[in-house]
Structure formats: structure tokens, C-alpha cells
Amino acid sequence: MPLDHGLIGLESAPYERSWTSTDTLLYALGVGAGTDELAFTTENTAGIRQRVLPTFAVLAAQAPLGRRLGDFDPAMLVHAEQAFELHRELPPAGRVRTTSKVTGIYDKGSGALVTTEARAVDAESGELLISSRSSVFIRGEGGFGGDRGPKDEWAAPGRAPDYTVTYPTRPDQALLYRLSGDRNPLHSDPAFAARAGFDRPILHGLCTYGITGRALLHTVAGSDPARFAAMSGRFSKPVYPGETLTVSIWVDGQTALFRTAKEDGTVVIDRGRAAFRPA
């Protein structure tokens, strides 16, 4: 059946999820943090309290929509865009209650772009912790004559980046990252990846996103998660585990624009924006 346009604007029932110190440590390892980032990768280092990488907010705020979006081959679905706002620093262990909804289904011709948003509140106090927005592109589901969706006027500044940060990824990076919850076989099963048109499993877009978030955290926010307010970006090309990523960052006061690219210059996260709080 076609995509269910009746979902647009329909808020889901509250969905509760929790996480532990182990979950946030595993996430940090999954996005490449290591022995030089012990605040994020250990919980018992003398003189260092455990903290949480800000991009974990995207996982913490994930919630089901309440009913199926439609019947389509899941190999045709790719993550297109991701944004979040952190209203305060996340704890190493916590519990949230999240509501979500589809905000639009746009006709891109060769496929459909489905946009969603979610709001996660502290399960005990009701305090808003995370606002999240995302979109997925589903190949073969376009052509229904709908709105093509809003345009983004993002443009890179006409000057060299203020920072460039380069991080390698491991050949088994996707196998490690998937333990944080995304078991999509696109990232682990060669046969499934081939059906989707890839010669081998690709890295999760949200893993690349988390690696990019680490670069932003350490260069612009002084490695302080409490200063990290928001981040958004568009996934433009796939990354294969083992490739090296370079994040280019242009700073303007308490905001920044960024792009993430592979060694050959291929941009893999485009139209990046981030916001930070003063020290």
C-alpha cells in the first residue's frame, strides 16, 4: 500500500525508555571515542565524572510513530536529515517519555521524504530534555503529485574553515555502533546491503553524525556537553567502515556551520548547523 498520509500531524502515545551508564559508554565507543576521552568512555576514572556525548540525545528521543508508515522495501529507506536540541545536559543514566509525529510526506519524484519530530521529557519531572527532528528518504515512493517540501538556503562561508578535525573509523565500526540499538542489516549483512545497491555494508548515518558531534564538542564547546545546545545536518553520501572523516567548521559567535567529508573530498554530511552556550 502507499505511504499513510493520515499519519501527518497525528501525535503518538507517550513512549517510555531508559538508559544506563553502560549504554552511554557503549554509545561513545560506537562513535569513535577512546582513551583520550575518558569522561565519555569510563565511569570510574579518578577525578573524572562520567558525562554523555550530546548526540546520544538522538537515540534517547527515538520513539515509534504508533502505526505503520506503509508497505515498502526497508532496503529502499535511508536516513536523510537529523536535528536535535538539548534543553539541558543528559545524565549518564536516565528515563524519558517521548511523543512523536510525522510532520510531512513530500514528493521528491524518485522517492518520498518523510519528516518527523519528537519531544522527550524527563519521566519523573516532566521537564523537556530533547527536541528532535529527522527525515527519511524512501526510494520508489514518490510520484504521487505532492508538495516537494521546503528548501534550505544553507551556504558555506567564503573563507577557510576555522577548524578542521579528522577522525578515522574502524573497519568494524558499524558492528560496534549497532549495539546501541540500530540493528538494520544494511550495516552488517552483505546480502542486504547489495539489495540496497551497495557493494558492502555501510556505516550508520547516525554514527557519522556522532563522530561529527564529537568534533564540534571538542573544538567549539570546550569539550563541555552542558554548552552543546543544538545540531542539524543532511546525510548526502554513504560512508564505509574504515574510511577517514574530516569535519570542517566555521564559527560565528555561539553558532557554527559544518560539513563532514571523506578523504577524497566527498561530502557525507552537508548543510550542518550547530549552536553552543557561552562558557
Catalytic site positions: 182, 187
**Cell numbers at 148, concatenated:** 516537494
* Cell 573524572 found at: 48
> Could you tell me the CA-to-CA distances from 132 to 35, 143, 244 in Å, in that order?
30, 28, 27
Output phi, psi for 217, to 5 deg.
-60, -45
Angle between helices 21-30 and 205-220 (to 10 degrees): 90
Cα–Cα distance, 91 to 252 (Å, whole number): 29
Cα–Cα distance, 274 to 261 (Å, whole number): 17
**Cell numbers at 1, concatenated:** 500500500
Contacts for 150-158: CB closer than 8 Å, 24+ residues apart: 152/234, 152/271, 154/257, 154/270, 154/271, 154/273, 156/250, 156/257, 156/259, 157/250, 157/257
Residues 6 or more apart whose CB falls under 8 angstroms from that of 209 comprise 55, 58, 82, 231, 233, 235, 269
Q: Nearest Cα to 197, choosing from 85, 81, 83, 77?
A: 77
> Exposed, middle or buried by CB within 10 Å (0-12, 13-18, 19+), for 159?
exposed
With residues binned 3-state (H G I as helix, E B as strand, rest as coil), the percentages for the chain, rounded to 5, are 20, 35, 45
